[in-house]
Amino acid sequence: METPALILVIVVWSSVTLITGYFFYKVLSLPKHPEPDSFEDNDEIEK
Amino acid sequence: MSNTTSAGWGSRVGLILAMAGNAVGLGNFLRFPAQAIENGGGAFIIPYIVCFLLMGLPLLFVEWSMGRFGGKYKQHSTPFIFDAMGKAPYWKYFGVFGIFTNIAVAAFYCYLESWALSWAYYSVAGTFTGMSQTEVQAFFQNYIELGTSHPVIFWIICLFLNTWILSRGLSGGVEKVAKIGMPLLILFGLILGITGISLQASADGAINDGVVGLNYLWNPDFSSIWSFDVWVAAAGQIFFTLSLGMGSIHCYASYLNSKEDIALNAMSAGWMNEFVEVVLGSMIIIPISIGYLGIEAVTDMVSGGSGLGIGFAVLPKLFADWGAFGVVAGLMWFGLLFFAGITSSLAMGTPVMGFLDDNFGIRQSRGAWIFGGIILLLGIPCVLSPDAFNEFDYWAGTIALVVFALVEIVLFAWVFGMDKGWAEINAGADIKVPKIFKFIIQYVSPAFLLIVFAGAIPGIIENATKDTSFYGWMARFLLLALFALICVFVYLASKRNQSSKLY
């Protein structure tokens, strides 16, 4: 591969993979919210 | 009165995979590499990343927070989310785009998705074995010209699958598909990508190494970044890839409770889409097709920037030459495209179901079948004629997205108010959103969108005034009628809601 293409591939792929991995790991490692699966909590304003 | 009190997400990972699945579509694997080749190769990544940071991520924050805000009012579709944020009565009619676009795009997208399903079947059945490249291309041409009944059969199967999964609800249907489909998609993408870039010249008839294609795709032409058209192409790709300006992100986020994070969720889902597009998307079709066909042939095939021809008319033949692994590779490639498609089309159904449920008390399972019926009717002209398909794609799948995104960011930053908006984005946030995004959302993203919209105006005038076939005109009429009909339903819903004074 030509050098500019190789540098771009390495920089872009590694950056995108690391950032994606970082955010997904953060999602997995954070403690659960009290009621993550209900939107009833969300009904603060009644119809 | 809403019947969806039991609706919602089963888990945070499920939500993120569903949101990422909404964003990841066929375009990640077919359109992105074709656009990159057409717009400066590796240099395309510069305007692309700039557009992602200045327009993509800010709009993700805006759409997620608007959705969660709407959930407080038991609203899961944009007409009444806009109504709650804008107060003035006309905002809800701008929100009509958030239902219109989903229905109109689903009408042609499900047909495209059914191609992936049928090609997965043909790969397993060995249909392409022994065919020459010309024969595979003729087979593809015959298929899209409806020379056989298969396109209709697979389209109906695909519609039924979508509707049935939607009728199972968010956690019981959409989330389960995302939890199975997304990991499989990434796994298949990695296997095919590694196979693609490790391809050796002379193996199974290859004329180039896989890295020749990778080099061709990533070799930068830095002069291209001074071209306005390249920036418009990058902005367009960001729109397509993140499913922005559709209303589906609002709907998914509206099922979160008001104390839950949206900042990290939006980042995680957005970057997951980028990983699939920029990393996996550039490892497969270009390295493999250049490996077998050479640079010149592939350059001709991607002109136009869709990549559909390579994906459906070229790769099947190449896979067929791989022997036993070819069957698996074909199944993985078209299975991957199908998962990418279905996780997106499912997201298009939920705002419609949410709207019917919130405002007319129609249960979500019934709403799913109504949605399925509508896209069946609207999809008929798209199946019958490429002119109708292109009209739907242009007006609903391109222009409506930009208009809607421009309206929503003005509403969020300037009408609802940036201070309140910033507080919404940060409420319950698990990460600290850099404050620069407050400035970007208020000034930079609207300016960016205005420029994109201005750049699209000549095309709008040209497309609106050009003559088309009978089916093209039918598509234009159906799109206008659909928009008007949704406006009527929004008006009726607002009358119903007035009696109980929502806001």
Q: How many residues does chain B have?
A: 503
Q: Cβ separation of B9 and A36 shorter than 8 Å?
A: yes
Tell me, what amino acid is at B21?
A: G
Tokens of B239: 């729109």
- Round to whole Å and give the CA distance between B241 and B274: 8
pLDDT band for position A37 (50/70/90)? Answer: low
| Across B437-460, average pLDDT | 92
pTM, to two decimals:
0.92
Tens of pLDDT, residues B193-231: 999 999 999 877 889 999 999 999 999 999 999 998 899
Tell me what pLDDT residue B6 has.
Answer: 44
- Per-residue CA distances from B18 to B24, B177, B334 (Å): 10, 8, 20
User: What's the mean per-residue pLDDT of chain B?
Assistant: 93
Tell me what pLDDT residue B73 has.
Answer: 92
| pLDDT above 90 (res B155) | yes
| Angle at B307 (CA atoms; ends B305, B310), nearest 5 degrees | 145
- Per-residue CA distances from B497 to B3, B6, B85, B477, B487 (Å): 15, 21, 16, 30, 15
Is B435 exposed, middle or buried, given 0-12, 13-18 or 19+ CB atoms closer than 10 A?
exposed
| pLDDT above 60 (res B1) | no
Q: Cβ separation of A41 and B267 shorter than 8 Å?
A: no
Tens of pLDDT, residues B61-82: 999 999 999 999 999 999 999 9
Whether B315 contacts chain A with CB within 8 A: no
Work out the minimum CA distance from A29 to partner chain B, whole angstroms. 11
- Round to whole Å and give the CA distance between B251 and B349: 10
ipTM of this complex:
0.91
Chain B hits for A39, CB-CB cut-off 8 Å, are 7-8, 71, 254-257
Chain A hits for B262, CB-CB cut-off 8 Å, are none
| pLDDT above 90 (res B15) | yes
